[in-house]
Amino acid sequence: MSNWISQTFPNVIYQGWTGDTGWWTAIVQTIYMTFWSAIFGGILGLIFGIGLIVTASDGITPNRTLYWILDKVVSIFRAVPFIILLAFIAPVTKAIVGTQIGTAAALVPLSLGVFPFYARQIQVALSEVDHGIVEAAQSIGATFTDIVFGVYFREGRSEIIRVSTVTLISLIGLTAMAGAIGAGGLGNMAISYGYNRFATDTTVVATLLVLIFVLIVQLVGDWLAKRLNHK
């Protein structure tokens, strides 16, 4: 068995488990980029998503000007391909992180790349909350915070989990793309140490590991969505 593995995956074994080019290092870098980008981009996406809902013409605090600004910001960032965004905001990344290359530097474009997608997903998820429940809360004097957290989030929690799952899966794909241009992670492993060096086994294993991450996120997300569905 060991002979078959060494013959079939020679480059995978050569990369090793630890060290700068090791598999464990690549896995940790991918998790690091996904986790922190999900936090930063998720918070930003929530702010914009909620803002789009509450400032819409039928929202709890209609504001046509603010809605237009939020909508255009989200639309513009969504329209920019991620690979171009990486280069376009490089000066901003360097100003914030101190470098344009590396795992930490990738957090800035990843967060800005995922937030508009998540904002739209949150907007759609919260728009499906029964407006009658929102009006009932307003009629009894519920505050802005009460409606957002007690109505929108409570009634739409299952759908929020679902769209968050979709966003995380999309983010994993973006980390692979960022890794391909020097940010590390499994994307860098697949391209720099696999494809560019004609090491097909390395590319295959890196791809399979990304697919495993996606599968885990999907299964956990589906379970949470069903668990928190109060309908």
List of domains in the chain: 17-227 (1.10.3720.10)
Most confident of 7-16, 136-145, 167-176: 167-176
Q: pLDDT per residue over 53-86, tens digit each?
A: 999 888 888 999 999 999 999 999 888 888 888 8
Higher pLDDT, 124 or 131: 124
Where would I find the H helices in the chain?
A: 2-8, 10-15, 23-54, 64-79, 82-88, 90-97, 103-127, 131-139, 144-147, 153-155, 157-178, 185-190, 200-227
Q: Is residue 121's pLDDT more than 90?
A: yes
Which tokens is 81 given?
């391909």
Kindly report the pTM of this predicted structure: 0.88
Phi, psi of 46 (to 5 degrees): -65, -45
Contact indicator for 71, 52 with CB cutoff of 8 Å: yes
Q: What is the CA radius of gyration of the chain?
A: 21
Assign 189 a pLDDT band (cuts: 50, 70, 90): confident
Q: How far apart (Å, rounded) are the C-alpha atoms in residues 1 and 7?
A: 10
Three-state secondary structure readout of 55-83: CCCCCCCCCHHHHHHHHHHHHHHHHCCHH
Q: Which is it for the CA torsion 141, 144, 145, 146, positive or negative?
A: positive
The DSSP string of 185-205 is: HHHHHHIIIIITTT-HHHHHH
Q: Which is it for the CA torsion 222, 224, 225, 229, positive or negative?
A: positive
Q: Is residue 1's pLDDT more than 70?
A: no
CB-CB neighbours of 159 under 10 Å: 20
